[in-house]
Amino acid sequence: MKSESTNNEIEIFEIIAHGGNARGLAYEALTAAEDFDFDKAEELIKQAADELTLAHNTQTKLIQNELNGVPNEKSLLMIHAQDHLMTAISEQKLIEHMIRIVKKLAPKQN
Protein backbone atom coordinates (compact mmCIF):
# COMPACT_ATOMS: atom_id res chain seq x y z
CA MET A 1 0.00 0.00 0.00
CA LYS A 2 1.46 3.33 -1.08
CA SER A 3 0.80 6.44 1.00
CA GLU A 4 1.29 10.09 0.24
CA SER A 5 4.78 11.38 0.90
CA THR A 6 5.39 12.95 4.27
CA ASN A 7 7.26 16.13 5.08
CA ASN A 8 9.00 14.99 8.31
CA GLU A 9 10.25 18.44 9.29
CA ILE A 10 10.67 17.44 12.94
CA GLU A 11 12.90 14.50 12.00
CA ILE A 12 14.84 16.65 9.54
CA PHE A 13 15.55 19.24 12.23
CA GLU A 14 16.54 16.45 14.65
CA ILE A 15 19.18 15.30 12.15
CA ILE A 16 20.44 18.86 11.72
CA ALA A 17 20.49 19.58 15.46
CA HIS A 18 22.22 16.36 16.50
CA GLY A 19 24.69 16.64 13.63
CA GLY A 20 25.50 20.20 14.66
CA ASN A 21 25.88 19.19 18.29
CA ALA A 22 28.26 16.41 17.25
CA ARG A 23 30.39 18.78 15.18
CA GLY A 24 30.62 21.29 18.02
CA LEU A 25 31.58 18.62 20.54
CA ALA A 26 34.20 17.17 18.19
CA TYR A 27 35.82 20.59 17.77
CA GLU A 28 35.74 21.09 21.55
CA ALA A 29 37.52 17.73 21.83
CA LEU A 30 40.20 18.89 19.41
CA THR A 31 40.70 22.06 21.45
CA ALA A 32 41.04 19.96 24.61
CA ALA A 33 43.62 17.79 22.86
CA GLU A 34 45.56 20.88 21.81
CA ASP A 35 45.77 21.66 25.54
CA PHE A 36 46.88 18.03 26.13
CA ASP A 37 43.71 17.34 28.14
CA PHE A 38 43.12 13.94 26.58
CA ASP A 39 40.63 12.75 29.21
CA LYS A 40 38.38 15.70 28.36
CA ALA A 41 38.95 15.16 24.64
CA GLU A 42 37.95 11.50 24.95
CA GLU A 43 34.77 12.37 26.86
CA LEU A 44 33.80 15.03 24.31
CA ILE A 45 34.40 12.63 21.40
CA LYS A 46 32.16 10.09 23.14
CA GLN A 47 29.44 12.73 23.52
CA ALA A 48 29.85 13.63 19.84
CA ALA A 49 29.46 9.97 18.90
CA ASP A 50 26.30 9.78 20.99
CA GLU A 51 24.88 12.78 19.13
CA LEU A 52 25.75 11.19 15.79
CA THR A 53 23.99 8.01 16.89
CA LEU A 54 20.83 10.00 17.61
CA ALA A 55 21.00 11.69 14.21
CA HIS A 56 21.70 8.40 12.48
CA ASN A 57 18.80 6.70 14.26
CA THR A 58 16.44 9.40 12.98
CA GLN A 59 17.87 9.04 9.48
CA THR A 60 17.40 5.25 9.67
CA LYS A 61 13.77 5.73 10.75
CA LEU A 62 13.12 7.89 7.68
CA ILE A 63 14.79 5.36 5.40
CA GLN A 64 12.81 2.47 6.91
CA ASN A 65 9.57 4.41 6.48
CA GLU A 66 10.36 4.92 2.83
CA LEU A 67 11.22 1.24 2.38
CA ASN A 68 7.85 0.42 3.94
CA GLY A 69 5.97 2.46 1.36
CA VAL A 70 5.83 5.86 3.08
CA PRO A 71 8.01 8.05 0.83
CA ASN A 72 9.58 11.18 2.23
CA GLU A 73 9.23 14.54 0.56
CA LYS A 74 12.45 15.35 -1.23
CA SER A 75 13.18 18.89 -0.15
CA LEU A 76 16.15 21.20 0.03
CA LEU A 77 15.83 20.97 3.82
CA MET A 78 16.15 17.16 3.70
CA ILE A 79 19.19 17.45 1.44
CA HIS A 80 20.70 19.97 3.85
CA ALA A 81 20.11 17.60 6.79
CA GLN A 82 21.79 14.72 4.96
CA ASP A 83 24.73 16.93 3.99
CA HIS A 84 25.00 18.25 7.54
CA LEU A 85 25.07 14.72 8.98
CA MET A 86 27.59 13.44 6.44
CA THR A 87 29.88 16.40 7.13
CA ALA A 88 29.62 15.91 10.89
CA ILE A 89 30.53 12.22 10.55
CA SER A 90 33.50 13.00 8.30
CA GLU A 91 34.78 15.77 10.54
CA GLN A 92 34.47 13.65 13.66
CA LYS A 93 36.52 10.87 12.08
CA LEU A 94 39.17 13.39 10.97
CA ILE A 95 39.25 15.01 14.42
CA GLU A 96 39.62 11.60 16.10
CA HIS A 97 42.64 10.99 13.88
CA MET A 98 44.06 14.44 14.66
CA ILE A 99 43.70 13.77 18.39
CA ARG A 100 45.67 10.53 18.00
CA ILE A 101 48.42 12.51 16.26
CA VAL A 102 48.46 15.16 19.00
CA LYS A 103 48.76 12.37 21.61
CA LYS A 104 51.84 11.03 19.82
CA LEU A 105 53.38 14.49 19.72
CA ALA A 106 52.50 15.45 23.30
CA PRO A 107 55.40 16.03 25.65
CA LYS A 108 56.04 13.01 27.83
CA GLN A 109 55.23 13.60 31.48
CA ASN A 110 57.28 11.81 34.13
For residues 82 and 63, give the distance between their C-alpha atoms in angstroms, rounded to a whole number: 12
Residues tagged active-site: 80
Residue 110 pLDDT grade (very low, low, confident, very high; cuts 50, 70, 90): low
Q: What whole-number percentage of the chain has pLDDT above 90?
A: 80
**Binding site membership for Mg(2+): which residues?**
83
**Binding site membership: which residues?**
83
Give per-residue pLDDT as tens, 10-58: 999 999 999 999 999 999 999 999 999 999 999 999 999 999 999 999 9
- Map out the domains of the chain as residue ranges: 9-103
Instruction: Please determine, for residue 103, whether its predicted confidence score (pLDDT) is greater than 80.
Output: yes
User: Over the chain, what is the mean pLDDT?
Assistant: 92
Instruction: Please determine, for residue 99, whether its predicted confidence score (pLDDT) is greater than 60.
Output: yes
Q: Domain 9-103 maps to which CATH number in 1.20.58.80, 1.10.3720.10, 3.90.1150.10, 2.60.120.200?
A: 1.20.58.80
Q: Who contacts 8 (Cβ-Cβ below 8 Å, separation ≥6)? A: 62, 72, 73, 78
